[in-house]
Amino acid sequence: MTKQIIAFFASSFLCVALTIPVCAEEKSGTVATVDRDRALLTFEDGSSYALPSGFDYDAVTPGMEAHVILG
């Protein structure tokens, strides 16, 4: 009985864990601007993404390739 309960919870955990990456939105592209005042990263195609507090703005410069994962 204990093995069945463990197997049930393990399979439930895996089902939930496998759906998380599907919910994430991903975007790659060339950085056009990094707006420190509004905390926005804008790609050359015009799409913009909010940056988290504490973001290291010196790590990203216009013209570099970047990959954003939103979840």
1 pLDDT band, cuts 50/70/90, is: low
Give the closest residue to 25 by CA, choosing from 50, 54, 62.
50
From the centroid of its chain, how far is CA 49?
10
pLDDT tens digits for range 19-36: 666 667 889 999 999 999
Looking at residues 10-17, what average pLDDT do you find? 69
